[in-house]
Amino acid sequence: MKLVVHTVVLGAPPPPGTAGIDGMNPKDITSKNLGRRSAVPNATVPNATVVRVAGPEDLLAYIPYRLGFEPAESVVAVSLTGPRQRVGLVARVDLDDLRLRQPDDPEGPDGAATARWLADHVVADGADRAVVVLYTATDPFVPTGAARRAVDLLRARLERRLPGTEAWLVAPTGFRALDCADPMCCPAEGRPLTALQGSRVAAHMVLEGRTVAGTREERYALRAAPEAARTQARRAAARWTDTYRRLLNGTRFPDGGGPIDGAARTDSTTATDGTIPTDDLRAERALGEWGAESLGLWRSAVRTAAGTRPGRPVVLSPVDLGKIGAALADTPVRDAVLLSLAPGTEETALRTARRQVDGDTDVATGAVMARIVDPEQGVPPDEEITRAARDVLEAVVTHVPRNRRAPAYLLLALVAWWRGDGGLAAERVSDALGVDPGYRLALLLRGAIAGGVPPGWVRRERGACPGEPGQGEAAAV
């Protein structure tokens, strides 16, 4: 066993770590849907902690915290970069995804393509070395077994570009170097898993409040709200959508009155003298006020979430959550919520929600988007803002009917991608497209994820500091 990793960079929670290329569907590597659940390479988040890692126990202990769950029947690839062997990309796929395609199953998994794609991502991460870790409860020493074939396939692909790629095994009985023949060093059943649980990295993670879900499903699951709360949210969403449609179409309410101020239709053309007819102006203002009120509901919910003590449940009104879920289907409101994820955007977000878009609003919106995607102007997300926003968006998802969830899923994916949490971003994009397969912004984000494109601040930091954490002993940063 020659693996000695000197340093590893640990991002600050929550959420627990970055998931790398995670949970691929067997068909994800086809030309049609390359990377549906792929993820951007990992990023070093702001205020990260650099800790010293003495050996394989620490690295193997770190992987579940990085993924956020305990891998099972999986292969994980880890990139190591720089003179101090900094841990970079941590990428997981199911064993089934590394099965070779069979002639009688042209739509089945293409393990060779998966291995090639994973290797490309590891190399693109700037790796000088790579480590492959096999997680399985089956016997990995049967040459024709699926587990052994999977790890050998990936390691062979990595060896072409990174000679000396090591392979490790984590099984229910223990862990060991896969090729180690010394029974004193690597007993057949492996060394006890308690050595991983008691490693310095595991201790550090516990002190930081990190947790590891038992399964991938637990890591990404959003538990539905109680039925009574979902009923309240569903009814509120339906009423808020009905109000929106009446305002949009200028139709009358059952009592015979107009939506607001007796507003008439909003789709009339401009008068011949270039002025907007009074009824149309009233209708536009009414629709703008609906957007402003919707944004107000969002801001109030975010304030409540931000004011909730860590570890305590966030309690939000089901009625307000239903209205927010309905309002996010309106593009100006959704964009206003997106803008609100960055500090100092209050006025721009409000004007966007009110549909008061002009040149100044466009410039301000472009500046906010540059903070997210541009490698020169990109900045890390404000954790206080995005944490509260995540809480509200997840509450919306767990309260409203499935057909209303796509915008909230999309915004959750964008926040996760901005933070560098590729696995979560890919999962939520997949959720959004599962509700609305043609959702354009979700398709664009999925393209960025599939292409391994990180947010702007990550690209800038990579260019300035390619894989080297700094000089001297590893310490808290």
Render pLDDT for 299-336 as a digit per residue (tens, 0 to 9): 999 999 999 987 788 999 999 999 999 999 999 999 99
User: Contact 433/447 with Cβ under 8 angstroms?
Assistant: no
Burial class for 453, CB neighbours closer than 10 Å (0-12, 13-18, 19+): middle
User: Contact 158/122 with Cβ under 8 angstroms?
Assistant: yes
Structure tokens at 253: 């309410």
Structure tokens at 364: 């301000």
Burial class for 207, CB neighbours closer than 10 Å (0-12, 13-18, 19+): exposed
Range from 48-57, 302-311, 381-390 carrying the lowest mean pLDDT: 48-57
pTM check: above 0.75? no
pLDDT band at 184 (very low <50, low <70, confident <90, very high): confident
Question: CB atoms < 10 A from the CB of 451, how many?
Answer: 11
Long-range contacts of 180-183 (CB under 8 A, 24+ apart): 180/1
- Average pLDDT of every residue of the chain: 79
Phi, psi for 259 (deg, rounded to 5) = -55, -55
Structure tokens at 26: 């067997």
| Residue whose C-alpha is closest to residue 134's, from 145, 144, 148 | 148
Mean pLDDT along residues 199-221: 84
pLDDT greater than 80 at residue 270 = no
Structure tokens at 385: 């803002």
What lies within 8 Å, CB to CB, of 458 at 6+ separation is 40, 43, 44, 378, 420
Q: What is the pLDDT of residue 203?
A: 86
Structure tokens at 14: 């929550």
Rounded distance, CA 53 to CA 243, Å? 58
Phi, psi for 354 (deg, rounded to 5) = -85, 0
Q: What is the pLDDT of residue 50?
A: 61
pLDDT greater than 90 at residue 414 = yes
What lies within 8 Å, CB to CB, of 210 at 6+ separation is 13, 16, 17, 65
Q: For the chain, give the number of residues.
A: 477
CA 368 to chain centre: 19
Most confident of 86-100, 136-150, 185-199, 290-304: 290-304
- Helix axis angle, 406-419 relative to 422-435, nearest 10°? 160
**How many alpha carbons fall within 13 Å on the CB side of residue 372?**
21
List, in sequence order, every beta strand (DSSP E) within 53-165. 74-81, 86-94, 129-135
